C-alpha cells in the first residue's frame, strides 16, 4: 500500500505467492489505515473522508459510499446492534472481479470491513459469500482467523474500545441474493425475496437492525482512502469519479482478463490494449459494458469513458465494469436468449410481471432463434421490454436489468431479428462458436 500506488487494490496480489498473511500484509503497508482510524479518527471523520474521495459503490448501482453510511443511526456500536455486510455474492454473468480480490488479498477486505464498521459503529460483520467460491471461502476463513488471533478482530480492538468480528455466510447460489434486501432476507433463513423499501437497510435491515451492505471492491478501497487521503483517491480517476476500477473483458478477445485501471479509462483502451483486441478471424460487433444486466452498446460508442456518468450517456450502465463481447460470428439473438434464460430462471417469483413475463420473453426468443418466430412476436418482445423495463413496475430491479440487453438488442439487431423470422432459421446456425 505504497502512497503512490496507481493500482492500490491489486498491488499486493501475487498469484505465485498466494494471499499475504498478516505479517506480509503489514510489511506492505497493511493495517496502517485501521491503526490510524481506531487510534485517532472519529467515525464522522471517516465518513467525511470517504464522501470526499468520491467513492461510489462498485457492485453496480454506483451509490455514493459515504452518503450510504450517512443514513445509519449514529449510536455507538456498544449501544445499538448494527451490521456491516460485505456483498460477496458475485453472480452477475460475465463478472469475476471480486473473486480476484477475495482470493488474492482477503486481509484487505477484512481491514476495509473494520474501517466501514467503525465508521457506522457496527459490531457485527458478515461476508455474504456465494457458495460456488470455495477457494475464496477457505482463504477468507484463514485470513479472518489470523486477524482475530492478532487482535485485529474481536473485543476492544487495539485498546480502542471498539469491538467487531466477522462471520462468513456461505450462500447456496441464487442471483437475486446480490440485491441487498434479498441478501438480508437470505441471512434471516428465508426464501431470498427482496423487501419493500422503506425501511431502508441502513435503518431497518438484518433482523430489523441498521445494516450497511457494501460490495467487496468498494470495501477494499477503504484502507487506501484512509491512508493516502481522499484527494489522492479522487485524483486517481480520469473523470468525475474517484479511484481505480477493476475492469474485465470476456468473449472472443485475444486475452480475456481483469485489470485494475483508473476509473474513467476509455472502453477502447480496455479492449484493445489490455484484452489485446479481438481474436484473429473475429470482429467486434457489440458489447455489454458492465455485466448481463447492462444495455448493449455498439462499436460507435467504443470511446466512451468507463465511468458511471459517461456510460449512462452512451445509453447503458457501468454496472460491474466487466464487459462481455459479442463477435460477428455469434448470433445476437442466441446471446439475448441465453441472457433471458438466466434472468427467467433467477427471478425469485415474488412479483407477477417478473415471474411470468421473463419466461414469456424467453419462449418468444426460443421460437425466433429456432426458426418458428412470427412477426407478432416482435411486438410482444417490444411490449415486454417497455413494460418490464420501466422502473417501478416490478418489486425490484431484476426485471428492468433483464430488459436492458433485450430493449437495446431489439434496436441494434433489428435486421437479425427480421432475418430469423423471414428465413425461418438462425442464419448463424445453431448458436455459438465453431
Partner 1 sequence: MPIADLSLPAPLRTEILALAAQELHPRGASVAALRLVQARFGWISTAHLREVANLLGMSADDLDGVATYFNLLFRRPVGRHVIMLCDSVSCWIMGREPLCAHLCRKLGIRPGETTADNTITLLPTVCIGHCDHAPAMLVDATLHGDVTTESLDHLIDTLRNTP
By CB under 8 A, name the binding residues for partner 1. Answer: 90-96, 98-99, 130-135, 167, 169-175, 186-192, 207, 248-252, 256-258, 288, 292, 322, 324-327, 330, 334-335, 338-339, 341-342, 345-346, 430-434
Smallest gap from Cβ 163 to partner 1, in A, equals 16
Choose between 255 and 383: whose C-beta lies nearer to partner 1: 255
Q: How far apart are CA 321 and CA 323, in angstroms?
A: 6
Residue among 166, 178, 179, 112 at smallest CA distance from 140: 166
Smallest gap from Cβ 274 to partner 1, in A, equals 11
Choose between 22 and 335: whose C-beta lies nearer to partner 1: 335
Q: How far apart are CA 290 and CA 25, in angstroms?
A: 31
Smallest gap from Cβ 433 to partner 1, in A, equals 4
Helix (H) or strand (E) holding 183: helix 180-187
* Alpha carbon distances (Å) from 219 to 119, 135, 282, 380: 12, 20, 38, 42
* Alpha carbon distances (Å) from 183 to 71, 85, 135, 172: 19, 10, 21, 12
Smallest gap from Cβ 250 to partner 1, in A, equals 4
DSSP string for residues in 262-291: ETT-BHHHIIIIIS-SBPTT--EEEEEBTB
Contact 295, 316 (CB under 8 A): yes
Choose between 232 and 343: whose C-beta lies nearer to partner 1: 343
Choose between 121 and 310: whose C-beta lies nearer to partner 1: 121
Rg (CA), the chain: 22
Choose between 157 and 186: whose C-beta lies nearer to partner 1: 186
Choose between 33 and 216: whose C-beta lies nearer to partner 1: 216
Longest dimension (CA), the chain: 74
Smallest gap from Cβ 106 to partner 1, in A, equals 16
Q: How far apart are CA 207 and CA 191, in angstroms?
A: 15
Smallest gap from Cβ 343 to partner 1, in A, equals 10
Contact 187, 127 (CB under 8 A): no
Block residue for cell numbers 505467492: 17
Strands 284-288 and 322-327 come out as antiparallel
Choose between 80 and 169: whose C-beta lies nearer to partner 1: 169
Smallest gap from Cβ 379 to partner 1, in A, equals 26
Choose between 140 and 326: whose C-beta lies nearer to partner 1: 326
Name the 3-class secondary structure at 296: coil
Cβ neighbour number for residue 298 with a 10 Å cutoff: 17
Smallest gap from Cβ 216 to partner 1, in A, equals 12
Contacts 24+ apart (CB under 8 A), 180-186: 180/87, 180/213, 181/396, 182/348, 182/396, 183/85, 183/87, 183/89, 183/128, 183/213, 184/85, 184/211, 184/213, 186/128
Choose between 258 and 318: whose C-beta lies nearer to partner 1: 258
SS3 content of the chain, % helix, strand, coil (to 5): 45, 15, 40
Choose between 157 and 258: whose C-beta lies nearer to partner 1: 258
Smallest gap from Cβ 338 to partner 1, in A, equals 5
Q: Which ranges of 91-176 would DSSP assign to H, the alpha helix? A: 97-104, 106-120, 134-149
Smallest gap from Cβ 99 to partner 1, in A, equals 5
| DSSP-assigned letter for residue 200 | P
Amino acid at each position: 500500500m505504497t502512497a503512490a500506488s496507481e493500482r492500490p487494490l491489486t498491488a499486493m496480489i501475487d498469484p505465485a505467492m498466494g494471499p499475504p498473511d498478516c505479517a506480509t500484509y503489514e510489511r506492505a503497508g497493511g493495517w496502517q489505515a485501521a491503526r490510524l482510524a481506531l487510534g485517532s479518527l472519529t467515525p464522522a471523520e471517516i465518513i467525511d473522508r470517504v464522501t470526499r474521495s468520491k467513492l461510489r459503490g462498485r457492485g453496480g448501482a454506483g451509490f455514493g459510499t459515504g452518503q450510504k453510511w450517512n443514513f445509519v443511526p449514529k449510536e455507538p456500536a456498544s449501544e445499538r446492534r448494527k451490521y456491516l455486510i460485505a456483498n460477496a455474492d458475485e453472480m452477475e454473468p460475465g463478472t469475476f472481479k471480486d473473486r480476484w480480490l477475495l482470493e488474492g488479498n482477503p486481509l484487505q477486505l477484512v481491514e476495509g470491513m473494520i474501517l466501514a464498521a467503525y465508521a457506522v459503529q457496527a459490531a457485527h460483520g458478515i461476508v455474504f459469500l456465494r457458495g460456488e467460491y470455495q477457494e475464496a471461502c477457505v482463504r477468507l476463513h484463514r485470513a479472518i482467523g489470523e486477524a482475530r488471533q492478532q487482535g485485529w478482530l474481536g473485543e476492544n480492538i487495539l485498546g480502542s474500545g471498539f469491538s467487531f468480528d466477522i462471520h462468513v455466510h456461505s450462500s447456496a447460489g441464487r442471483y437475486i441474493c446480490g440485491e441487498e434486501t434479498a441478501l438480508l432476507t437470505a441471512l434471516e433463513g428465508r426464501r431470498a425475496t427482496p423487501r419493500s423499501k422503506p425501511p431502508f437497510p441502513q435503518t431497518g435491515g438484518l433482523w430489523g437492525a441498521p445494516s450497511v451492505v457494501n460490495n467487496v471492491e468498494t470495501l477494499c478501497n477503504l484502507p487506501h482512502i484512509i491512508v493516502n487521503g481522499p484527494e489522492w483517491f479522487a485524483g486517481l480517476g480520469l473523470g468525475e469519479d474517484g479511484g481505480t476500477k477493476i475492469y474485465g473483458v470476456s468473449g472472443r478477445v485475444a486475452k480475456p482478463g481483469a485489470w485494475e485501471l483508473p476509473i474513467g479509462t476509455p472502453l477502447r483502451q480496455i479492449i484493445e490494449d489490455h484484452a489485446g483486441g479481438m481474436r484473429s478471424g473475429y470482429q467486434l460487433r457489440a458489447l455489454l459494458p458492465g455485466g448481463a444486466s447492462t444495455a448493449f452498446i455498439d462499436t460507435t460508442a467504443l470511446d466512451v469513458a468507463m465511468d458511471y456518468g459517461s456510460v449512462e450517456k452512451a445509453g447503458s450502465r457501468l454496472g460491474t465494469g466487466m464487459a462481455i463481447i459479442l463477435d460477428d460470428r455469434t448470433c445476437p439473438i442466441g446471446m439475448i436468449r441465453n441472457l433471458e434464460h438466466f434472468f427467467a430462471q433467477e427471478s425469485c417469483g415474488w412479483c407477477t410481471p417478473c415471474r411470468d413475463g421473463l419466461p414469456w420473453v424467453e419462449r418468444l426468443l426460443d421460437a425466433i432463434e429456432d426458426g418458428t418466430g412470427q412477426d407478432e412476436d416482435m411486438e410482444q418482445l417490444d411490449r415486454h421490454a417497455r413494460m418490464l423495463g420501466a422502473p417501478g413496475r416490478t418489486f425490484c430491479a431484476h426485471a428492468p436489468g433483464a430488459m436492458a440487453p433485450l430493449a437495446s438488442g431489439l434496436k441494434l439487431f433489428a435486421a437479425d431479428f427480421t432475418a430469423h423470422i423471414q428465413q425461418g432459421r438462425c442464419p448463424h446456425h445453431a448458436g455459438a462458436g465453431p
